[in-house]
Amino acid sequence: MDKSIEGLKTSITTGILEGIKNGLINFLKWIGVGIINNSYWVCLFICIGALILYIGGQRKAGKYVTLSVIIYFLLQAIKGALI
């Protein structure tokens, strides 16, 4: 009888831990996908601002145009891997 109670406790504990783990993973995935979905506007404004600065004479700002496009591309690739 004691073995069946211990087995029951073990299975309940395992189920609770597995549920918490799956919930936490789904929550982090939801946060990540939310950030990636909104990255379009952030990368777009950085790109436009850097392009305006580059046209205005700040030659160092030119690298941020391509960098923002590359970061957006990588974030979308990560999103494709998550979903």
Shared domain check, 82 and 42: yes
Domain membership of residue 69 as a residue range: 38-83
User: pLDDT digit of tens for each residue in the chain (83 aa)?
Assistant: 567 888 888 889 999 999 999 999 999 989 988 888 899 999 999 999 999 999 999 999 989 999 999 999 999 998 888 77
Total count of domains within the chain: 2
Q: What is the pLDDT of residues 17-35, one digit of tens each?
A: 999 999 999 999 899 888 8
Cβ atoms within 10 Å of 68's Cβ, excluding its own: 21
Shared domain check, 25 and 42: no
This prediction has a pTM of 0.66
Do residues 37 and 76 make contact, with C-beta atoms less than 8 angstroms apart?
Answer: no
Shared domain check, 25 and 49: no
Shared domain check, 24 and 53: no
Shared domain check, 5 and 24: yes
Shared domain check, 49 and 17: no
